Amino acid sequence: MSEIIIKTPEQIEGIRKSSQLAGNTLKYISDFVKEGVSTEYLDQLIEEYIRNNNAIPAPLNYHGFPKSCCISLNNVICHGIPDEKTILKNGDILNIDVTTILDGYFGDTSTMFTIGEVSKEAANLVEDTEHAMYLGIDQVKPGNYFGNIGFMIGRFAKGKKYSVVYEFCGHGVGIEFHEAPQVEHIAPKNSGPKMKAGMVFTIEPMINLGKPRAIVDEKDGWTARTIDKKLSAQFEHTILVTEDGFEILSDVGDYDIFK
Ligand code: MF3
Ligand code: CO
Ligand code: CO
């Protein structure tokens, strides 16, 4: 894989704007996420919001992906394709993953939502997965190893008897959708390359209640599910390495994820 790009201040400002738009898209859609709506409807609203903000939804036609965002319910780990048939129902947990291209720059972020009354183990999984992402983010500073992101996430998840998906990773982002390096969510301590100021990448752990393995749907070529049909959760932010730590470029403040 190619080298990890150190972004210029101008590029960072562009990626910050795109990441803020991606975050604001999640905040916007949070008002429409509720029991009874289809994932297709949410996808349409997301596409419209992004285009109204002079940007392009990056997933659309990316390696043939047919929709503008990914919506992954329950046992779907990631890359769920929005459709009319999938209607949100009481007890569901879901991830909505939005990636924007604004003035040529990419921002990538995702969040979980819960619908109505979810099981205690589902609610805990969602809360713990968000915490796992922040444990990873806390490792970001110049000179630290990328592997320590996955080390901290993996150690926490193991302590809670969860498993960490290793077949999908975080990634450099900004000039392109997926750049070097691959950011592993389970890794040995002090492994991998070192972080430098100006690097931009995602941290997007996928955590499972059961086994870690993913199986990609043979028919659609995208939808990745757990092999044991148990629940999976994911949160994602786009992170900049600053001189003394990190900036969460896609952070737009709090909104309600319990619907
Ligand atoms: N947004 C996803 C990520 O976090 C990638 C989705 S690729 C798509 O990397 F084609 F499915 F949209
Ligand atoms: Co990503
Ligand atoms: Co994403």
Helical H runs in the chain?
A: 9-30, 39-52, 120-137, 147-159
Contacting residues for 243 by C-beta, under 8 A, at least 6 apart:
142, 197
Which residues lie closer than 8 Å to 158 by C-beta, 6 or more apart?
none
**Structural contact between residues 107 and 250, judged by C-beta atoms closer than 8 angstroms:** yes
For residue 123, pLDDT over 70 is answered with yes
Q: Are 150 and 187 in contact (CB under 8 A)?
A: yes
> To the nearest whole percent, how much of the chain has pLDDT over 70?
100
Is 229 a residue whose pLDDT tops 90?
A: yes
Distance from C-alpha of 97 to C-alpha of 168, rounded to nearest angstrom: 14
Nearest CA among 43, 2, 8, 1 for reference residue 174: 8
Is the pLDDT at 6 greater than 60? The verdict is yes
Is the Cβ–Cβ distance between 125 and 93 less than 8 Å? yes
Nearest atom (ligand 1) to Cα of 62: 10
The reported pLDDT for the residue numbered 161 is 98
Q: Is 47 in the pocket of ligand 1 (CB under 6 A)?
A: no
Residue 117 has pLDDT above 80, yes or no: yes
Chain segment 169-227, per-residue pLDDT in tens: 999 999 999 999 999 999 999 999 999 999 999 999 999 999 999 999 999 999 999 99
Mean pLDDT (whole number) for 8-13: 98
Q: Which positions make up the binding site for substrate?
A: 79, 178
Burial of 161 (0-12, 13-18, 19+ CB in 10 A): exposed
Residue 179 CB–ligand 1 contact under 6 Å: no
pLDDT attached to residue 2: 82
Interhelix angle 147-159/120-137, nearest 10 degrees? 150
Nearest CA residue ID for atom 11, ligand 1? 79
Identify which of 97, 111, 234 to mutate to test ligand 1's pocket (most ligand atoms within 8 A of the CB).
97
- Tens-place pLDDT, residues 62-112: 999 999 999 999 999 999 999 999 999 999 999 999 999 999 999 999 999
Ligand 1 atom, smallest distance to 67 CA = 12
> What are the chain's domains?
9-248 (3.90.230.10)
Beta-strand runs (E) in the chain: 56-57, 70-73, 76-78, 93-102, 105-114, 163-164, 170-172, 179-183, 200-203, 206-208, 214-216, 224-226, 232-234, 237-241, 246-248
Query: What are the binding residues for a divalent metal cation?
Result: 97, 108, 171, 204, 236
Per DSSP, helices labelled H in 61-174 are 120-137, 147-159
Atom 4, ligand 1: residue with shortest CA distance: 108
User: pLDDT above 90 covers what percent of the chain?
Assistant: 99
What separation in angstroms does the CA of 230 have from each of 23, 211, 226?
A: 28, 8, 6
Average pLDDT (117-124) is: 98
State the Cα–Cα distance between residues 80 and 93, nearest whole angstrom: 13
Q: What is the pLDDT of residue 141?
A: 98
The answer to whether residue 1 scores a pLDDT higher than 60 is no
Binding-site members are 79, 97, 108, 171, 178, 204, 236
Distance (angstroms) between ligand 3 centre and the Cα of 98 equals: 6
Residue 256's pLDDT band, with cuts at 50, 70 and 90, is: very high
Mean pLDDT of the chain: 98
